[in-house]
Chains A and B, each alone.
Chain A
Amino acid sequence: MAHPSTYQPRSGAEKWLDERLPVARLMHDQFMTFPTPRNLNYWWTFGGILTFILVAQIVTGVVLAMHYIPAEDRAFDSIEHIMRDVNWGWLLRYSHAVGASMFFLAAYIHTFRGLYYGSYKAPREVLWILGVLILLLMIATAFMGYSLPWGQMSFWAVTVITNLFSSLDAIVPGLGTTLVQWIWGGFAVGGPTLNRLYSLHYLFPFIIAGVVVLHIWALHVPGNNNPAGIEVKSPKETVPFHPYYSIKDGFALLMFLLLFGVFLFFAPNLLGHADNYIPANPLQTPPHIVPEWYFLPFYAILRAVPDKLLGVIALVSSIVVLFFVPWLDTSKVRSTSYRPVYRWFFWAFVVTCIALGYLGSQAPEGWYLFFGRVFTIYYFAFFLVVMPVVGKFERPRRLPGSITEAVLGHAEQPRSRKREAVA
């Protein structure tokens, strides 16, 4: 939020630097005194949590890269070398692997929070689009990272996902095949594929970090949305980010780390798949090829469509549709709390995503496939039908006049009713 700078250089050196590169001023204004709505709830703490995990993933990843060997015949053993012989290697590797799951858990909560409170609506469309871009980059990064242990599931996940591009053969014969061989660096998934996946897996997190900077920049221009979904009307309705939200985010981060710790120390393989402890074998397909849990809803959508090309289009659309959410939702009201009709559709959408996640882990046959299709249809209908139509016809509940009123809740209402009675 544009606010007057309150930074005062306290020494000659600070003054000198401030006139040349006002980086201390930037930090002071954006992360210390930044005016933040005083009514943010704990769902708003996931941005800070995500920043922490991104940094943790990069730090653990850089150290892991010092010990990992991206070669077809050595990758699996080099991971086991990390687990057995590198000092604290087991902690680094499990932190990184479990950290990926925690990253997606937090990112999904963060995204659902944005959806529920309408944080994508004007003037925060660019902020939202950058967020979807980060999600897309995360998906690519996690997929490439999962390939690196070069176990059975790594190998076959790469085979299945890269083969999706071959569906382009249905448009231009030969185009898909050529593209897939270009991606593989050969006629099958192999050493060259592993090398390039590793190279890109190291590159992408830094691109994510760059987009995160833009994401925070785009947040700091209009300022935070808030649970009431109404604009800040006076400076009294805000508090400086530090200490109010630095400490609230800090507490939330610790609670999140406790959950992280449960998985990391007591069930590090619970979220993974046993088959990935079998070295990659191109001659033996596992009975079920299943992605990591955080991709299961998308996997269910892919398999719900009987045609390969259309399935891939559905898969890509399920994420791309998020880019258009700011314009698909026609309601003027941001917060779903004040939208009595839309609210039901929203929670049905949350249930749909969880159901698709479960169905993605099951074989696509019988009732599983049937419900996979039902939920896939609702997934898209939510964006393409519910968002535009409900916004037009719904009568939202009365919005509070200000954040102050929203915070005070019903305390003022009896008084106003009394006044009405007198009148």
Chain B
Amino acid sequence: MTRHVFLNLLGTFLLGFAAPDHAVGQDGHAPEIARQSWSFAPPFGTFDNAQLQRGYQVYRDVCGQCHSMRLLSYRNLGEPGGPEFSAKAVEALAAKSQITDGPDDKGQMFQRPGRPSDRFRSPYANEQAARSANKGALPPDLSVMAKARAGGPDYIYALLTGYRDAPPDMNLAPGMYYNEAFPGHQIAMPPLLQDGAVAYTDGTEKTLDNYARDVSAFLMWAAEPKLEERHKVGMRVMIFLLVFAVIMYLAKRTVWAPLHKHRDTQSS
């Protein structure tokens, strides 16, 4: 923990700024999104495994009822730099889903329990099924969502905690909800994430705020699974380049010194 704090400080000091780790867009129409503090945001930040595990639970129990994550496989949940579930836990999590496989020897498709190598099971068979189950609205895939919106995880957190009563002068279309963070403020997604909606088992308080924070972190990992590796490699490369640059500068001064001396004798 102290190591992380130290590295963050070092990074901020070396680089002169704490770089936001997500795409920043310039959508003038989007409402202001408040910045949150994330363990992975500073230059040498890392994911909080326990938070990602809780975030996965929120995704699976709530978001995953409508939103697919088609680019992720169950095996990813056990890989380093992610939620890091144990190999056994990954197998158990995968087996909870029924995956359509086939065709078998008789040409029939069949259902079987999921394996770690399977992609996350999508809640709907296709776009049309998703739309028809959601009053015509399509719940977008969440695989790279944390990079596909200006503000990234900050935006997702703001959206999930942004449901309010509509202002009296606003006419909400039927079946729509008012959300502070959503561009245009009318969103088709109902506020399913509520206090107590997911049964956390590690003692974390079951509040909407925690759910939103955890699932936003989880989606950031899902969008950028190599973030920790990138930060780690980056730190080493930067230190190498800095040392190399100092050596190169001294070498340059040494090589040029006779020329400058020559200049001094000429001018004196």
Instruction: Check A84 against B225 for contact (C-beta < 8 Å).
Output: yes
* Shortest beta-carbon distance from B216 to chain A in Å: 15
* Shortest beta-carbon distance from A290 to chain B in Å: 7
* Contact-size category for B: 35 or more
Interface flag for B116 (CB, 8 Å): no
Which one of B20, B144, B248 lies within 8 Å of A250 (CB-CB)? B248
* Shortest beta-carbon distance from B159 to chain A in Å: 14
Instruction: Check B25 against A266 for contact (C-beta < 8 Å).
Output: no
Interface flag for B27 (CB, 8 Å): yes
Chain A residues, Cβ within 8 Å of B263:
407-408
* Shortest beta-carbon distance from A283 to chain B in Å: 11
Chain B residues, Cβ within 8 Å of A270:
19-20, 23-24
Interface flag for A265 (CB, 8 Å): yes
Instruction: Check A287 against B71 for contact (C-beta < 8 Å).
Output: no
Q: Which of B3-37 contact A (CB under 8 A)?
A: 11, 15, 19-29
Instruction: Check A266 against B29 for contact (C-beta < 8 Å).
Output: no
Task: Report the bound CA distance from A243 to B252 in whole Å.
Answer: 9
Q: Which of A239-264 contact B (CB under 8 A)?
A: 239, 243-244, 247-248, 250-251, 254-255, 257-258, 261-262, 264
Chain B residues, Cβ within 8 Å of A172:
none
Interface flag for A308 (CB, 8 Å): no
Which one of B22, B71, B230, B255 lies within 8 Å of A77 (CB-CB)? B71
Instruction: Check B259 against A239 for contact (C-beta < 8 Å).
Output: yes
Which one of B19, B148, B225, B245 lies within 8 Å of A251 (CB-CB)? B245
Known: A258-B242, A274-B25, A361-B26. A91 touches B233 (CB 8 A): yes
Residue from the set B19, B20, B29, B76 with the largest chain A CB neighbour count within 10 Å? B19
Chain A residues, Cβ within 8 Å of B143:
80
Chain B residues, Cβ within 8 Å of A139:
none
Interface flag for A83 (CB, 8 Å): yes
Chain B residues, Cβ within 8 Å of A258:
238, 241-242, 245
Task: Report the bound CA distance from A5 to B231 in whole Å.
Answer: 49
* Contact-size category for A: 35 or more
Instruction: Check A287 against B27 for contact (C-beta < 8 Å).
Output: yes
Instruction: Check B28 against A363 for contact (C-beta < 8 Å).
Output: yes
* Shortest beta-carbon distance from A404 to chain B in Å: 8
Instruction: Check A257 against B241 for contact (C-beta < 8 Å).
Output: yes
Chain B residues, Cβ within 8 Å of A268:
230
Task: Report the bound CA distance from A363 to B233 in whole Å.
Answer: 38
Chain B residues, Cβ within 8 Å of A411:
267
Interface flag for A220 (CB, 8 Å): no
Known: A251-B245, A265-B231, A269-B147. A277 touches B23 (CB 8 A): yes
Which one of B23, B226, B256 lies within 8 Å of A269 (CB-CB)? B23
* Shortest beta-carbon distance from A308 to chain B in Å: 24
Task: Report the bound CA distance from A363 to B242 in whole Å.
Answer: 40
Q: For chain B, what secondary structure do more than half of its interface residues adopt (helix, strand, loop), or is it mixed? A: helix
Q: For chain A, what secondary structure do more than half of its interface residues adopt (helix, strand, loop), or is it mixed? A: helix
Which one of A83, A274, A412 lies within 8 Å of B24 (CB-CB)? A274
Chain A residues, Cβ within 8 Å of B21:
266-267, 269
* Shortest beta-carbon distance from B206 to chain A in Å: 31
Instruction: Check A38 against B259 for contact (C-beta < 8 Å).
Output: yes
* Shortest beta-carbon distance from B4 to chain A in Å: 15
Q: Which of B225-268 contact A (CB under 8 A)?
A: 225-226, 229-231, 233-235, 237-238, 241-242, 244-245, 248-249, 251-252, 255-256, 259, 263, 266-267
A-B contact count (CB 8 A): 119
Instruction: Check A267 against B19 for contact (C-beta < 8 Å).
Output: yes
Instruction: Check A266 against B267 for contact (C-beta < 8 Å).
Output: no
* Shortest beta-carbon distance from A271 to chain B in Å: 9
Known: A265-B237, A273-B25, A411-B267. A84 touches B71 (CB 8 A): yes
Chain B residues, Cβ within 8 Å of A244:
255-256, 259
Instruction: Check A269 against B267 for contact (C-beta < 8 Å).
Output: no
Interface flag for B83 (CB, 8 Å): no
Residue from the set A267, A274, A277 with the largest chain B CB neighbour count within 10 Å? A274
Task: Report the bound CA distance from A278 to B146 in whole Å.
Answer: 11
Chain B residues, Cβ within 8 Å of A248:
252, 256
Task: Report the bound CA distance from A209 to B21 in whole Å.
Answer: 34
Chain B residues, Cβ within 8 Å of A254:
241, 244-245, 248
Interface flag for B150 (CB, 8 Å): yes
Known: A91-B233, A261-B241. A266 touches B43 (CB 8 A): yes
* Shortest beta-carbon distance from B261 to chain A in Å: 13
Instruction: Check B19 against A261 for contact (C-beta < 8 Å).
Output: no
Interface flag for A15 (CB, 8 Å): no
Instruction: Check A247 against B234 for contact (C-beta < 8 Å).
Output: no
Interface flag for B52 (CB, 8 Å): no
Instruction: Check A90 against B230 for contact (C-beta < 8 Å).
Output: yes
Task: Report the bound CA distance from A79 to B188 in whole Å.
Answer: 30
Instruction: Check A277 against B147 for contact (C-beta < 8 Å).
Output: yes
A361 closest partner in B (C-beta): B26
Interface flag for B60 (CB, 8 Å): no
Interface flag for B212 (CB, 8 Å): no
Interface flag for B223 (CB, 8 Å): yes
Interface flag for A3 (CB, 8 Å): no
Known: A258-B245, A274-B147, A412-B267. A265 touches B238 (CB 8 A): yes
Interface flag for A185 (CB, 8 Å): no
B79 closest partner in A (C-beta): A84
Chain A residues, Cβ within 8 Å of B23:
269-270, 272-274, 277
Instruction: Check B15 against A262 for contact (C-beta < 8 Å).
Output: yes
Which one of A251, A262, A362 lies within 8 Å of B252 (CB-CB)? A251
Task: Report the bound CA distance from A77 to B72 in whole Å.
Answer: 11
Known: A248-B252, A272-B23. A261 touches B147 (CB 8 A): no
Chain A residues, Cβ within 8 Å of B266:
404, 408
A258 closest partner in B (C-beta): B241
Instruction: Check A264 against B234 for contact (C-beta < 8 Å).
Output: yes
Task: Report the bound CA distance from A129 to B231 in whole Å.
Answer: 42
A-B contact pairs, 16 of them (CB 8 A): A247-B251, A251-B251, A254-B244, A261-B237, A262-B19, A264-B234, A265-B238, A267-B19, A268-B230, A269-B24, A270-B23, A273-B25, A274-B25, A274-B149, A288-B28, A404-B266
> Which residues does B use to contact A, with CB under 8 Å?
11, 15, 19-29, 43, 71, 76, 143-144, 147-150, 152, 183, 223, 225-226, 229-231, 233-235, 237-238, 241-242, 244-245, 248-249, 251-252, 255-256, 259, 263, 266-267
